Structure formats: C-alpha cells, structure tokens
Amino acid sequence: MADEEADEAPAVELGEGASVEGAPLARVASRLTWPQEKSRILQKEGDAVIRTPDGPQTLEDILADADETYFETRQTFVDDVYDIVGRAPVATE
C-alpha cells in the first residue's frame, strides 16, 4: 500500500525553468576516491563539465589553473576548485 502512495507524486517537485548545463562539483567529486593526484583526476574526470558561476567549464580547464598536484581529501579538492571558479551562485538563465 505504501508503494502505491509513493508512486502517485514525485518526492521532490522540479521547477519549470531552463535546465543548467553541467554537473554539480559535488557529484563529480563523489565519483572519485581520495587521496588523488591531479593527473589521475584529469584521466578519470577531465572531460566532465562542471557548473560554475561563469557558465559550464570542463574540469580539465579548471584544474589547469590549480597549483596543487595532489589532493589529500575530497574537501581540499572541492575548496581548490571553488577558489578557482568562485563561490557565487550558478546562473540559471
């Protein structure tokens, strides 16, 4: 009975605006294991398109500006990427 009720309506209602191109950084970072070398990240996910405040960018283009060559934790990777692309909200239009 509970399964029938769950199928009736979506758990989260989606908006009707335009979709945002690219993947959230958190999604890409979650596909990797840590620690990780920059070169290995580029091999595995370099072509991934990330949502940024300035529009979608490939992870390869973003990491070209990174000084780090080794990321000890997921958080250090995420922080470094945000330091490069900025922490402003992603534009939806």
Cα radius of gyration (the chain): 17
What pTM was computed for the model? 0.77
Averaged pLDDT, 20-35: 91
Report d(CA 91, CA 16) in Å as an integer. Answer: 15
pLDDT in tens, 38-75: 999 999 999 999 999 999 999 999 999 999 999 999 99
Are the beta carbons of 42 and 24 closer than 8 angstroms?
Answer: no
